[in-house]
Structure 1
Amino acid sequence: MSYQDRNQDSVSMEESRSSRRSAILMGGAALAGLALGKAAFAQSATVTDADILNFALNLEFLEAQFYTIATTGMTLDQAGIPTKGGNGTAGGAVTVKQNAKVTFTTPLLQKFAAEVAMDEQNHVKFLQAQLGASAVAQPPIDLMNSFNALAQAAGLGATFDPFASETNFLLGAFIFEDVGVTAYQGAAGLISDKTYLDKAVGIHNVEAYHAASIRTRIFQAGEAAQSASQAIAATRARLDGTGTGDVGVGVMSGASTIVDNDDNALTFSRTTSQVLNIVYGGGPAGTGGAFYPKAMTGNIK
């Protein structure tokens, strides 16, 4: 798919921002989001900090694979970063097209992509080290059929190749970074060990840097890329159940929407269930789909 093949009837940015503002207007609503997150985590009798960190590790595997393949043409294992579990369980395979390395034509973007790849690799290694023997193995990850399904759901055409061009790469990255920011935001209040909380907030902040940088570059890419991001954001909102709780990149009331926030200039949070609905493409919990065709590994899946 070319990102220009977009659905002109996607939810308007004004409607999306207005709806989200009414849903996440005050600090109390943010606290309510954390309460929902707690319920979503309760997929076993006792949910531990390790369960939460392993959920984060699953997301970091996905991001690290995407950026590493895009910048080097190699998977994490090929790049020397193990994906096995702390108990020695082998990591799952990655489904991706051959020769997936992006042909960057903008040197500064290439350097930025390499930086993000390194950051995501370090997130994987850091979480693995923190979890030790409790670290889960990478689940099977799909970076091909998943994007095609998302493109169809967003009305962007039958297929989408995030490795085909610089703009497609940015749109692919846009999916992951925005979801990652809201996932860490939702998890922050659920971690018991404040040492872990400090580290999780540190990862969240880096993901927010990434998201802002990517959204800035989509804004600079022009109206076609902005429109595609809006269609993707609307699809994420439908998948997470909020309907219109997400905003793509563009212009509203004479200002850009590079920063995705509410009336209080706060990021919004997603529960684990909402995150799973997006990355599974609406597939059933525990079964998976889309980016995780056989579900995540660990207790939260």
Structure 2
Amino acid sequence: MALSTSGASTTALMAAIILLLLLLGGSAEYSVNSEIPKSDVDLLEFPLNLEYLEAEFFSWGALGRGLDAFAPELTKGGPPPLGARMAKLSPLIKDIIAQFAFQEFGHLRAIQKTVPGFPRPLLNISAASFANIMNNAFEKPLVPPFDPYANDINYLLASYVIPYVGLTGYVGANPELLSPTARRLVAGLLGVESGQDAVLRALLYERALVKVFPYDITVAEFTDKISSLRNKLGMDGIKDEGLIVEPALGAEGRISGNVLVGDQYSLSFGRTPEEILRIVYGSGRESVPGGFYPRGADGKIAKSHLGR
């Protein structure tokens, strides 16, 4: 009888330990040991390309230093970005962009805790890279060349180029994800990325009719041209709109102000990884690197298109 009681106690103790371990294992919000399907891993790794880009551009723009100075472990040994500079920003804009930078550091940590990830790809965030985007948007060279680091408006316009692309990528990836862990992470990333885009659009909307010196072109016209270029490069219809649109394209088809962009139901547009690569490469082809990624993006999805 005593032996039976001892065996029952041992069994109960083991069960309690196993239950405790399971509970502790589930308490971590993100873990590289999570049971995530390979397809989800690929979809979660792909956005690292955009998160690295945003982290470096915002950090250098506001603080004059990047990941190598603030969080070198997040780079995983990848090369430093090309052409990174500190921007000439007012205290308010500098503060907002610095917040964005540290938010992007957090995004990198969250993704890298969930999936293995990859080293920071070579990024080109030089003034010349952004000038080339603006030239393509207007289908002519701007004189003098556009300098994203020159002042508040230029930097906000350059920032307009980036977070929205990542936002549409998260929207597009969400229905393809199989695991709750992956969907939870993407939902959290999407929430902040969409917030960043909203802040940028609101700041630009406040200045919509201001002329961008020295081009005699308004802020709203710049956003329209940038959005049109992204639609053209993405090659999958209208998924991007500037700050002022024809009323038929505004919310409920009734208003031209377009501080937040959405479809006919005011829902966010989604893009595939291939569409995103066409845009950030600036080539209109997911197999032809360039633009912000001179050597191409990393991860299984991006690499699968290289050399085709």
Q: Give me the TM-score of the superposition, normalised by structure 2.
A: 0.75
> Which of 52, 56, 59 pairs up with 1:65?
56
**Is 2:86 the partner of 1:76?**
no
**Is 2:240 the partner of 1:239?**
no
User: 1:147: Cα distance to partner?
Assistant: 1.2
User: 1:275: Cα distance to partner?
Assistant: 0.5
Gap runs ≥5 in structure 2: 1-36, 210-217, 248-254, 303-308
**Is 2:141 the partner of 1:147?**
no
User: 1:108: Cα distance to partner?
Assistant: 2.6
Matching of residues 179-218 of structure 1 within 5 Å? 179-218=165-204
- The one-letter code matched in structure 1 to 2:102 is M
Contact 1:219-1:249 within 8 A present in 2 as well: yes
Distance 2:256 2:285 in 1: 38
Distance 1:84 1:217 in 2: 30
| CA displacement, residues 29-87 of structure 1 (integer Å, 9 cap, x when unaligned) | xxxxxxxxxxxxxxxxx9522211110111100111110010111121122343444xx
Contact 2:170-2:190 within 8 A present in 1 as well: yes
User: 1:170: Cα distance to partner?
Assistant: 0.7
Distance 1:244 1:135 in 2: 31
Instruction: Give aligned-pair identity as a percent.
Output: 28
Matching of residues 264-283 of structure 1 within 5 Å? 264-282=265-283
User: 1:92: Cα distance to partner?
Assistant: 2.3
**Is 2:102 the partner of 1:101?**
no
Which residue pairs with 1:115 in the alignment? 99
| CA displacement, residues 215-272 of structure 1 (integer Å, 9 cap, x when unaligned) | 0111111321111011100000000013543211125435410110012110110011
> Which of 177, 186, 207 pairs up with 2:163?
177
**Is 2:154 the partner of 1:168?**
yes
Contact 1:215-1:258 within 8 A present in 2 as well: yes
User: 1:138: Cα distance to partner?
Assistant: 0.8
**Is 2:118 the partner of 1:136?**
yes
Q: Give me the TM-score of the superposition, normalised by structure 1.
A: 0.77
- The one-letter code matched in structure 2 to 1:169 is Y
| CA displacement, residues 123-152 of structure 1 (integer Å, 9 cap, x when unaligned) | 012111222xx2211110001242122111
Contact 1:240-1:274 within 8 A present in 2 as well: yes
Instruction: Work out which structure has the larger RCO, using CA pairs closer than 8 Å and 6 or more positions apart in sequence.
Output: 1
- The one-letter code matched in structure 2 to 1:91 is G
Larger Rg: 2
Which residue pairs with 2:41 in the alignment? 50
User: 1:285: Cα distance to partner?
Assistant: 2.9
- The one-letter code matched in structure 2 to 1:120 is E
Number of residue pairs the alignment of both structures matches: 247
